[in-house]
Structure 1
Amino acid sequence: MKKIVLSITVSVIMLMAFTTTSFAQLPLRVVVNGNRVNFPDAEPFIDDNGRTQVPVRFVSEALGAEVGWEGSTKTVTISQGDKEIKIVIGKKDYTINGEKNLMDTEALLKEDRTFVPVRFVSEGLGARVDWDPAVRTVYIDTREKGSTKDDTPKDGSIIEVDGYLVPNDTNIIIVKPRGSDTIETSLSVTTLLPN
């Protein structure tokens, strides 16, 4: 009997340890207009001030902006249409179209990559930014609110539906009954097997 109790106790402890470990290792993700941004050689991270730092080039280009670098002054310039953001590495102040602004953190160089706080850059370019701590994902959206245009990717990638990350080819229905503050979610996954 003692062996059974001991083995159950050890099993529960191991299960709890692996569950905690797998949650703690959930990677940071950045999704721009429903498309996940890939970072091939440098991963985003949360800095000491609680800000998500991302490699500037990948996110800026996903937002349709161009990135320039002035090595002598350690200044990164992000340009999109009539907007220009200038950020100096190691400084908390930055400019948008020449107007000085202040961040609560700073851009930095790490492993030969320029990292910037994603919220300040994205909002500076006019995008909406949301953070979902449950899935450690930053959502950046440049589309107009209430847009009915279907610009979701058709390549089997992931999309966001009402705060959920799902494969693009998943059928999902979000229902909010009249007069209710709760939302009911139904997820249907169909798997077709070859004959």
Structure 2
Amino acid sequence: MLLSGQSHAATESRLFLDGKELSLPEKVEIENLDGNVMIPIRVVVENLGFKVTWNQKSQSVKIEQRDKVVQLVVNDLMATVDGKQESLNAAPLLRKGSVVVPIRFVSEQMGMEVDWNNVDKVVSLITPVIEPTIKEPVKVPPTTGSGTSSPTTAPVVEPSVMLSQVNTIQFSENQLKISLSASVQPKISRLTGPDRIVLDLPNTMFSDSFRASQGLDNKLNGRLEVSGYPDVSGVRYSLFSSSPSTVRVVIDLNSAKKYTLLTETTDSTLITVQLREEDSVNIDPIVPNVPAVNDGRKKVVIDAGHGGSDPGATSISKKMEKDFTLAVALKVEQLLLQEPAIELIMTRNSDVYPTLQDRVDLANNMNADVFVSIHADSFSPTANGSQTFYYQRTNSKAFANVIHKYLIKATGFKDRGVTENGFFVIKKTKMPAVLLEVGFLSNSDNEALLFTEELQNKVAQGIVNGIKEYLGIK
């Protein structure tokens, strides 16, 4: 392989395939030729189980795997892939008896994600998940009534792989959320140059509804634009491989971030990738349950999630999360304005978008006693219920337990519990803080109730009751 601005001996540069270091041919150097990183093709494809044939006379290499046939010729910018001519961005070269080819070709034709670490001079190749081999039907001789037999076709010996379908891909609150029709075992990795997180979903395809709504091109590639999250520049997705059928989702990062891969305990068709802001977590010191304020009133911040240019999630009937959160927040506002012991602070009371940092700064600068962020979730049609999130401050957990009790009573939805999470607005605020996912906009039963005055009034009253109990207000 050929990498940085100068050539480097094999002892200085290294090649990894799925985390396993591969041995480079003796004296084959890794260097960069006019910006093209080159790779010894035989080393890679043989480790992938491909058949490689070298023709000395024609100076060509033939690579075969299943129905894919690739032919390369030394010093020729054209390759033959399954009988069709494909141009290369750099011609293959012969180095000490080994053919080296541009890394771009490897990633495109061999179906791999490629990462080059220029600091450590390390090339990492990641292969897609391989689905089980599906055997062809076999002939079996069933016995006829006369005792003779005749051949017939039996069912497939090994059952065919049922593909899961991607229904939705969303990014909010520093989380990537993917809803599937059937559970899969995702494969995830973090790469650099540029920084990104790659999630492969084996035995998976895009659903018809996803294709219709997510703007896939004719090659089944698409992109989700992300705004308001400085760590993320966008989310890309594509049908990365058709054999096996694999959907790849890539979070493009502006800087390296660690992550946590989460799956629902009750429904493994819901996959979440939570970005983490730092490598090590420092637990905030415990602060008094009820901080003192100068005038004796408790400062309460009510945050209607999303707003303005950020609509949040969209319900199955095309209603927007930002409208639901504002409606509930305004009802909470009307109730809290009647409480003389509470000083109310709203992050928004109209269809505007304060950034996440704006919301945090407002609460911290006001030295608020509690912070409540109101949201509604969206995933698969089967996901439902109410959930309360907190960040690991002890006082936030205590606040979450109190307010969740009232939230469940108000909605009557499935109890999804109290959960720790690093959502920006509850992590960066300094006071007891919770984020409420009142219900699921993607669930027809939840959605039918979420936009009713009756349920919104109950939720608003439940939030107020929880705040008052926690703050000790009669």
Shared topology, TM-score over 0.5? yes
Q: Which runs of structure 2 are paired with 1:135-146 in the superposition (5 Å)?
A: 135-144=120-129
Residue in 2 aligned with 1:113? 98
* Alignment counterpart, residue 64 of structure 1, candidates 49, 73, 77: 49
Q: Secondary structure at the match of 1:85?
A: strand
Q: Quick one: distance in 2 between partners of 1:139 and 1:121?
A: 12
Shift of 1:105: 0.9
Q: Quick one: distance in 1 between partners of 2:69 and 2:113?
A: 17
Q: Secondary structure at the match of 1:84?
A: strand
Q: Quick one: distance in 2 between partners of 1:112 and 1:63?
A: 20
Shift of 1:183: 3.8
* Alignment counterpart, residue 61 of structure 2, candidates 62, 76, 87: 76
Q: Secondary structure at the match of 1:184?
A: coil
Q: Report the number of matched residues.
A: 143
* Alignment counterpart, residue 89 of structure 2, candidates 84, 88, 104: 104
Q: Is the 8 A contact 2:28 2:95 kept in 1?
A: no
Shift of 1:67: 0.8
Q: Secondary structure at the match of 2:34?
A: coil
Q: Is the 8 A contact 1:42 1:113 kept in 2?
A: no
* Alignment counterpart, residue 36 of structure 1, candidates 3, 18, 21: 21
Q: Is the 8 A contact 1:33 1:143 kept in 2?
A: no
Q: Is the 8 A contact 1:85 1:121 kept in 2?
A: no
Residues 122-180 of structure 1 deviation map (CA, whole Å, 9 limit, x = unaligned): 43021222222222222211133x8557xxxxxxxxxxx7459xxxxxxxxx556x986
* Alignment counterpart, residue 53 of structure 1, candidates 14, 26, 38: 38
1:90 has 2:185 as partner:
no
1:182 has 2:277 as partner:
yes
Q: Which runs of 4+ in 1 moved over 3 A?
A: 146-149, 161-164, 178-181
Partner amino acid for 1:63?
L
Shift of 1:91: 0.8
Give the share of equivalent positions with the same residue, in percent: 26
Q: Secondary structure at the match of 2:33?
A: coil
Q: Which structure has the larger Rg?
A: 2
Residues 20-56 of structure 1 deviation map (CA, whole Å, 9 limit, x = unaligned): xxxx888222111111111141434224222222322
Structure 2 vs 1, CA of residues 74 and 83 (structure 1 numbering), >3 Å: closer, same or farther?
A: same
Q: Quick one: distance in 1 between partners of 2:126 and 2:81?
A: 19
Residue in 2 aligned with 1:124? 109
Q: Quick one: distance in 2 between partners of 1:53 and 1:148?
A: 29
Residues 77-130 of structure 1 deviation map (CA, whole Å, 9 limit, x = unaligned): 111222111111001111211121111211111222222223313430212222
Partner amino acid for 1:69?
W
Structure 2 vs 1, CA of residues 38 and 184 (structure 1 numbering), >3 Å: closer, same or farther?
A: same
Q: Quick one: distance in 2 between partners of 1:44 and 1:123?
A: 23
Structure 2 vs 1, CA of residues 82 and 181 (structure 1 numbering), >3 Å: closer, same or farther?
A: same
Structure 2 vs 1, CA of residues 123 and 147 (structure 1 numbering), >3 Å: closer, same or farther?
A: farther
Query: Pairwise CA RMSD of aligned residues?
Result: 3.3
Partner amino acid for 2:48?
L
Structure 2 vs 1, CA of residues 53 and 59 (structure 1 numbering), >3 Å: closer, same or farther?
A: same
Structure 2 vs 1, CA of residues 179 and 142 (structure 1 numbering), >3 Å: closer, same or farther?
A: closer
Q: Quick one: distance in 1 between partners of 2:99 and 2:22?
A: 16
Structure 2 vs 1, CA of residues 128 and 163 (structure 1 numbering), >3 Å: closer, same or farther?
A: closer
